[in-house]
Amino acid sequence: MRVHRYTDARAFNDRIVPALASAEHESNVLLGAARSLADAPDETVVMASVEEDGRITCAALLTPPFNLLISPAPAPALDVLAEHLHAWRAALRGVIGLATTSDTFAALWQRRRGCRAERGTEMRLLALGVAPHAPATPGALRAARANDAALLVVWAKDFFRETGLPPHEHDVFVAELDDMLSTQRLWLWETDGQPVAMLRHNMTTARSARIGMVYTEPAWRGRGFATAAVAEVSRRLLAAGRSWCLLFADVENPTSTALYRRLGYQDVCLYREYRFP
């Protein structure tokens, strides 16, 4: 097996997109990150692929201080990847990917580095390829505007705290806020002129988009506003030409998962995070 380390983000993206086409959903976080880097390179990023007989069997991307992103891969490819990351002195806070892939890599990294591997978040990936079953809910969806920025920053901070994500996630949100507003990737559900819920979407591949950061202000929860927002954003993305809408649901919150399934979202796979303290 051969490991190739990339310095050109666009070359990395162009190389892995066709190689991961058969696992597009399962690799959506990695593919989305690679797509973004192709447009805005970052010198701190580690990009690598493992190849056998000219075929990519594993792709990985590390953007400090975030977790290592890895595509579904067989154990021998993950072992070779771990060996090279160790030789490159890559500082891994954690890893996230398909559950079985993360399990294998975490065990390999733990053995190679002599560190602990603590299981972190588990998320279920769901996908929708047809118009959602939209519920009848008071209010309407609109794109967030510049004058919503202060509210969005506060809600994002609450979202990251409630979901247990590290503080640097909020820092990145704030840094990218102007771009998300200008490209209409942040949405608000309003009722009687009052914003009550928000979400965002990211383009992961040429065919799919991922919905995330679904949040309802506590005083307005339990009324279906966030579910209605997810349904309407999903409908718009599919109507605009996307083949798939994706989203992650926390396995510890079966209520939200059930709501997404009622919209028509179907289970794809389980994602698992490991942290290396």
For the stretch 185-225, pLDDT in tens is: 999 999 999 999 999 999 999 999 999 999 999 999 999 99
Question: What CATH number should be reported for the domain holding residue 34?
Answer: 3.40.630
Residue 6, φ and ψ in degrees, nearest 5: -105, 145
- For residues 66 and 164, membership in a common domain is answered with no
Would you list the DSSP string of 86-102?
HHTT---SEEEEEHHHH
Q: 91-127: per-residue pLDDT in tens?
A: 999 999 999 999 999 999 999 999 999 999 999 999 9
- For residues 44 and 139, membership in a common domain is answered with no
- For residues 7 and 90, membership in a common domain is answered with yes
Q: Is the pLDDT score of 131 beyond 90? A: yes
Q: Per the domain annotation, does 121 fall within a domain?
A: no
Q: Is the pLDDT score of 88 beyond 90? A: yes
Q: In this predicted structure, what is the pLDDT of residue 134?
A: 87
- For residues 90 and 205, membership in a common domain is answered with no
Task: Find out whether 238 and 251 touch, Cβ atoms under 8 Å.
Answer: no
Average pLDDT over residues 35-64: 94
Q: In this predicted structure, what is the pLDDT of residue 168?
A: 86
**Where is the domain boundary, 88, 115, 142?**
115
Parallel/antiparallel/unpaired status of strands 194-203 and 208-216: antiparallel
| Short-list 31, 93, 51, CA closest to 68 | 93
Window from 8-22, 33-47, 94-108 with minimum mean pLDDT: 33-47
Entry pTM:
0.93
- For residues 225 and 137, membership in a common domain is answered with yes
Q: Is the pLDDT score of 165 beyond 90? A: no
Query: What is the number of structural domains in the chain?
Result: 2
What distance in Å separates the CA atoms of residue 144 and residue 4, rounded to the nearest whole number?
41
- For residues 59 and 143, membership in a common domain is answered with no
Q: In this predicted structure, what is the pLDDT of residue 265?
A: 98
Q: What is the DSSP letter of 206?
A: S
Find the domain containing 28 and state its range.
2-115
Q: Per the domain annotation, does 274 fall within a domain?
A: no
